[in-house]
Structure 1
């Protein structure tokens, strides 16, 4: 089953310094029928103005991933970590038993656009941790590149405490990608740019998403070009 969630039906919050689109119930947007998709609890598409951001605030019992689409994102936390990420970078934070962090746009001139994803961890009481990884953007071309997973085999892939994998891809016109997972799992698709076709018939446009169950094989194609994210979920 493929459930489509059009971009223009996402909840939109505009705070001036922050423009955000929520894919799931979050903050002032409460929808008990849209709380999660498996362990995926939050997907916020955020744009933050220069020199603004989220000040120091606490988190517990959550795996938080930030993927920068444009601009720069600066992270600081109570463990002493500080890092700046741009396109090609991923931030992963395990809040575990408790951590305080901030996320701000350090640029004086450029907005930052990033995807913030929250996942329920596979177990509670984890020791808080943070890592920043970088992937080769060229390797996105016409393939699914893992950037976050439970058991990474490369320093370019972030580790997460949940049985999932986040893939990114740049698909060219008239190319196809085949994806297969174990039966009984879930697939979440999110189109970052362009247009994506699922199994030759279901069309997703920019910022549309799809929640897929009971289908463990997909053929992904495009008639123009597409940058997208695929998450393999339990």
Structure 2
């Protein structure tokens, strides 16, 4: 069960210990440290604040997020795009809802880097939503490409929109983990039903069968 935060301008579902919420039994899943499901009111956001030695990924679900940092980056990221920031040796950034009237919804994910103390960096990548249909579409990976953001860790983030009645298989390599997040819909995972905003942490399951009980959008992360 996620910890829910409601500050009026910000509503969050926290999958791991974060901010005021601390559970010593729920601080990480492998290299994964944060999965925040954030809803930000128009014109609101997070003022300048520092990070170091963390890989931070923002997946925009609805609306637009404005990013600014002390490296000189200033960019707006929208649905169909992913933002990746490697904090490295240190970076100061701010994130705001780019709209004064519409809500912003995004997933923010934090991962420990493969190596500490590197040069901080930032990028925004775009993907084609139609390629998610009945397919696991990589949007972030350690190798990266023109449409896949690169990350300083041996992981891959997939997005998928599975149409009702369709199924996909995923093979989990030995010693690796899978984190699942159902964005909307109902997903059956090897006989277990997950509903909207449910998450799952899976280990030692070499074969996952993913079936849509209804049209379903979800995120799958392959982790070391």
Specify the TM-score bucket, using the shorter chain as the normaliser: over 0.9
Q: Which residue of 2 aligns with 1:190?
A: 181
* Cα deviation, residue 77, structure 1: 0.5
Structure 1 stretches (4+) deviating beyond 3 angstroms?
A: none
**Structure 2 SS opposite 1:122:** coil
Q: Which residue of 2 aligns with 1:35?
A: 27
8 Å CA contact 1:174–1:222 kept in 2: the answer is yes
User: Is 1:146 the equivalent of 2:129?
Assistant: no
Q: Which runs of 5+ in 1 are unaligned?
A: 1-8
8 Å CA contact 1:184–1:216 kept in 2: the answer is no
Cα deviation digits, residues 47-67 of structure 1 (max 9, x gap): 111111000000000000000
- Of 196, 212, 228, 2:202 maps to 212
Q: How far apart are the structure 2 equivalents of 1:13 and 1:173?
A: 32
- Of 7, 10, 26, 2:2 maps to 10
User: Is 1:163 the equivalent of 2:191?
Assistant: no
Compute the TM-score of the two structures, normalised by the length of structure 1. Answer: 0.94
Q: Which runs of 5+ in 2 are unaligned?
A: none
8 Å CA contact 2:65–2:76 kept in 1: the answer is yes
Q: Which has the higher contact order (CA 8 A, sep 6+)?
A: 1
Q: Which residue of 2 aligns with 1:180?
A: 171
Show the 5 A alignment for 1:75-154.
75-152=67-144, 154=145
* Cα deviation, residue 181, structure 1: 2.8
* Cα deviation, residue 132, structure 1: 0.3
Q: How far apart are the structure 2 equivalents of 1:124 and 1:202?
A: 37
**CA RMSD between the two structures:** 0.7
In the alignment of these two chains, the number of paired residues is: 224
